[in-house]
């Protein structure tokens, strides 16, 4: 299964007037990074970066003067994502801008059936939140110390790690054939094995002095101490 984890940065929040200025994307193959990435900065064609947006991602109009316009990178982006599931955090925002840019070029919008919103996944899995990318990195122990500013490629790299955790963690699924028993399926593909009882108990490792010292310590804890309940049971088992 091929999935593309992606993120965009924009000049502002208005998809009808603001423009995409950065796209970053990471390819996952069966939930493992393939090593293929897509990253490009885009000239917003005269649209000024809003000060609030600049404070978030730090990309100025001067940074974008010599960058290609969206039309020049559209085919490369569509080729990179073709046939793959697209994953974004708050995907409504990113897909709204992507499809608005495609509409300006008379290119059909990307089918929403191909899109997964990792924010929606996080809200279902962690309904008490918070579910921002930074909060999820903290929850899953993912190092995001480099994220002093938002950046599409870095955010995609972090989101890829978060997404893998959201959908089941980093352990590869065990391959189960059609003959696998229901007991194996219920235990995650690991078959339970019944171990025979020992013909004779193991030799105790505690000396009599150590046992007596422990019993004296427990006696000082009072009748309600949990050890006072365990010791009689252990004595019966030893007998």
Residues of the chain with CATH 3.30.420.10: 2-166
Burial class (CB in 10 A: 0-12, 13-18, 19+), 202: exposed
Which single residue is written with the structure tokens 């804890």? 221
DSSP 194-214: PPPPPSSPPPP-S-HHHHHHH
Q: Which pair of structure tokens corresponds to residue 95?
A: 């897909």
Active site residues: 150
| Strands 85-88 and 115-117, bridge-based pairing | parallel
Q: Which pair of structure tokens corresponds to residue 177?
A: 């054939």
Number of Cβ atoms within 10 Å of the Cβ of 102: 17
CA-based nearest residue to 89, from 135, 49, 53: 135
- 2-166 architecture in CATH? 2-Layer Sandwich (3.30)
pTM: 0.69
Beta-carbon contacts of residue 39 (< 8 Å; ≥ 6 apart): 22, 23, 24, 25, 152, 153
Q: Report whether 23 contacts 5 (CB < 8 A).
A: no
Q: Which pair of structure tokens corresponds to residue 170?
A: 């980093």
Q: Report whether 22 contacts 151 (CB < 8 A).
A: yes
pLDDT tens-digit profile, the chain (239 residues): 999 999 999 999 999 999 999 999 999 999 999 999 999 999 999 999 999 999 999 999 999 999 999 999 999 999 999 999 999 999 999 999 999 999 999 999 999 999 999 999 999 999 999 999 999 999 999 998 888 778 899 999 999 999 999 998 664 443 334 444 444 444 444 444 444 555 566 666 667 777 788 777 777 777 766 666 665 655 544 44
**Per-residue model confidence (pLDDT) at position 175:** 38
Is the backbone peptide bond immediately before 130 cis, with ω within 30 degrees of 0?
Answer: yes
**Per-residue model confidence (pLDDT) at position 200:** 61
């Amino acid at each position: 299964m091929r999935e593309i984890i992606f993120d965009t940065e924009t000049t502002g929040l208005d998809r009808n007037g603001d423009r995409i200025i950065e796209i970053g994307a990471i390819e996952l193959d069966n939930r493992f990074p393939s090593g293929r990435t897509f990253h490009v900065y885009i000239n917003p064609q005269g649209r000024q970066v809003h000060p609030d947006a600049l404070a978030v991602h730090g990309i100025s109009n001067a940074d974008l003067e010599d960058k290609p316009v969206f039309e020049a990178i559209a085919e490369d982006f569509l080729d990179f994502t073709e046939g793959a599931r697209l994953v974004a955090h708050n995907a409504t925002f990113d897909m709204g801008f992507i499809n608005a840019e495609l509409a300006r070029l008379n290119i059909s919008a990307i089918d929403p059936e191909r899109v997964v919103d990792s924010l929606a996944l996080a809200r279902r899995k962690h309904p008490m939140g918070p579910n921002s990318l930074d909060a999820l990195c903290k929850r899953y122990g993912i190092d995001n110390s480099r994220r002093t500013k938002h950046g599409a490629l870095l955010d995609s790299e972090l989101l890829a790690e978060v997404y893998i955790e959201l959908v089941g963690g980093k352990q590869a699924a065990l391959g189960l054939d059609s003959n696998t028993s229901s007991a194996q399926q219920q235990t995650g593909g690991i078959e339970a094995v019944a171990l025979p009882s020992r013909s004779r108990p193991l030799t105790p490792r505690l000396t009599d002095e150590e046992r007596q010292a422990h019993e004296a310590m427990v006696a000082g804890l009072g009748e309600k101490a949990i050890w006072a309940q365990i010791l009689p049971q252990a004595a019966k088992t030893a007998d």
